[in-house]
Amino acid sequence: MEFHERLKQLRKEKKMTQAALAKELTYGATAISNYESGHNQPSISDLKKIASIFNVSTDYLLGVNEIRRPYEPDKKTDDYKTFNEYFEKLENGGKKELLLYFQWLLSRQENIYEDSYGESSNFQSSSLQVAQKPEEFKL
């Protein structure tokens, strides 16, 4: 994908008009239209500004590659990766059971937070609650 196509795609993803983008870049109204039609190319400094507005790399903007943010750190922790490995080893029944357990944990967590604000709760802190009220935790 070339720059003019990528620019139009990104602008539309952000639901931004050509006029709004031009204003943000302190351009005239027709500048973005000329970029998107392929008639003009931005300077390097303007290219950096456009990449910043859309939070993408200049390589992505220029169509060099498909990696929007190559330097964004991997937010997946070792615990997440380990969990994901175990989860993938489970059969479908085990995965559904684990998801129900997650829902129960989140429900318990929400009730604990409610109690800390002085609101009373009839929540029973029991692992049997999942089995006692399965209709509340169905997927």
pLDDT tens digits, residue range 54-84? 999 999 999 898 888 877 666 677 888 888 8
CA distance 50 to 18: 12
Asked if residue 29 has pLDDT above 60, the reply is yes
pLDDT at 135: 53
CA angle 74, 78, 80 (to 5 degrees): 85
Which amino acid makes up residue 11?
Answer: R
Query: Where are the CATH 1.10.260.40 domain residues in the chain?
Result: 3-62
* CA angle 128–131–134, rounded 5-degree value: 135
- pLDDT for the residue numbered 72: 65
> Quick check: 25 pLDDT over 70?
yes
CB within 8 Å of 21: residues ≥ 6 apart: 11, 27, 32, 53
Is residue 118 pLDDT above 90, yes or no? no
Name the strand (E) or helix (H) holding 38: none
How far, in Å, are 19, 37, 41, 74 from residue 7 at the CA level?
Answer: 14, 10, 11, 26
Reading the block at residue 50, the tokens are 């456009």
Distance (Å, whole) CA 110 – CA 49: 43
Query: What pLDDT score was predicted for residue 111?
Result: 76
Architecture field, domain 3-62: Orthogonal Bundle (1.10)
| pLDDT, position 8 | 93
Q: What is the pLDDT of residues 6-19, one digit of tens each?
A: 999 999 999 999 99
Q: Which residue has the higher pLDDT, 128 or 70?
A: 70
